[in-house]
Amino acid sequence: MKIITYNVNGLRAALKKDWLGWLKTEAPDVVCLQEIKATPDQVPEILMLEQMGYEHYWYPAQKKGYSGTAILTRKSPLHIEYGCGHEDYDFEGRMIRADFEDLSVMSVYFPSGTTGDIRQTFKYRFLDDFQSYVDNLKKEKKLVVCGDFNICHRAIDIHNPKSNANTSGFLPEEREWMENFINSGFVDTFRHTNPDPHHYTWWSYRAGARARNLGWRIDYNMVSQNLSERIQKAEILSHAVHSDHCPVVLTLD
């Protein structure tokens, strides 16, 4: 099973950059999207997705043009879970889950705290609530948690750890949460297969950051420990340029 997570930062904008052509070439079995910023009725290309063999499940935010998640899949899920039952997060369309026979795949868009203290506090609350949510889920499901976590785990995951030490996304409390999340029973699949530095998934649009590879690794495919032996391949597709993020691939046996 080939799974891709991709924060497209507006699906309609990505589609204008031949996103469908890229998808056809990559041919993943499951695609987890974040920041879709659209509802299905705004995306006429849905017909082309269906012709490519994808079922599509959308969980847009209530606020138009903001946030939202989706899952595309070539394998019919047994169940789709929209949201997590928490009004504040579900209002923003931050989480959708597809349950298959042998595992469950989640597309999650973690909040950013870059706009100030109010959203940073919201982010911390989300982190705590998400941990509780997945703790309960993984008692009964093998989980693949895909998405934009909006956190760099370690210094190796950010181009300039010293100057960003007090920046949301690399704060000590956020990094500690990520460490605890992994220690609670998850595997960072990219780091499981690749210990090297300078691999990023997001770059600022400013100052030619992407061309200079001045980035952050904030997009992950995490799997519960009971799937670790099935990790076959994990890679970052930095050549795919449809967004300020790039896709991250996980292939499971």
Catalytically active residues are 148
| Amino acid, res. 144 | V
| Amino acid, res. 45 | E
User: What 3-state DSSP class applies to 108?
Assistant: strand
- How far does the chain reach from its first CA to its final CA, in angstroms? 7
Best CA proximity match to 49, nearest among 17, 27, 81: 27
Would you state the structure tokens that stand for residue 139, as one six-digit string? 């008692």
| Amino acid, res. 179 | E
Other CB atoms closer than 10 Å to residue 124's CB: what's the count?
A: 16
Strand partners, 234: 250
